[in-house]
Amino acid sequence: MLDADFFRRWMTATAVSVDREADRLTALDSPIGDADHGSNLRRGFTAVTAALEKEAAGTPGAVLVLAGSRLISTVGGASGPLYGTLLRRTGKALGEAAEVDEAGFAEALRVGVDAVMQLGGAAPGDKTMIDSLVPAVDALPGGFRAARAAAEQGAEATTPLQARKGRASYLGERSIGHQDPGATSAALLIAALAEADGE
């Protein structure tokens, strides 16, 4: 079973990994975006960990709703409302349960990913975070390691794609050949699940 502490560890592990990889995310965002993905997410997840230390969030759902709200408030770029919606909708789908099992979490995360697709209007293959989140959710019933591998593969598979959403889509064919920064950061988020689980 996954309790509120697990979800706090998930957010903390994501913050650590975003901080470590911020320069790489920004480097990926330089040729096809506006070169701020790493710094934006670092600012957002720093705010998330600060809020989780300060504010009471006693259930898995409350942890994710609080984290998502902080991301929307602090990131400043499109990844804020997108990740914020992902976490808030997932958290709301978890309801007020004190613990959730992995199957329940997988279902809730799918609700969150669907909400992101609706908000951003992106589908798989558009070269966005969806390209690592959807395979991760599909693989999640097989465990966190399987989800991590699927997300990383999904992120790498964005390299040959032409962007159809966001700032990168203005580049047309010039967006081909670069791994999508959003798919890459989404893979970090998924990888942090395994870390929170002690792997």
Cβ proximity of 75 and 43 under 8 Å:
yes
Contact call for residue 176 and another protein (CB under 8 A): no
- Least separation in angstroms between CB 182 and another protein: 12
Alpha helices in 33-77 (DSSP H): 37-54, 60-74
Contact call for residue 135 and another protein (CB under 8 A): no
- Least separation in angstroms between CB 89 and another protein: 8
CA gap 183, 110 in Å, rounded: 16
Contact call for residue 82 and another protein (CB under 8 A): yes
- Least separation in angstroms between CB 52 and another protein: 18
Q: What are phi and psi of 2, to 5 degrees?
A: -110, 125
Cβ proximity to another protein: between 15 and 116 the closer is 116
Contact call for residue 120 and another protein (CB under 8 A): yes
Q: Of 21-29, 48-56, 81-89, 151-159, which part binds another protein (CB under 8 A)?
A: 81-89
- Least separation in angstroms between CB 135 and another protein: 23
Counts of helices then strands in the chain (DSSP H, E): 8, 2
| Centroid of chain to Cα 129 | 7
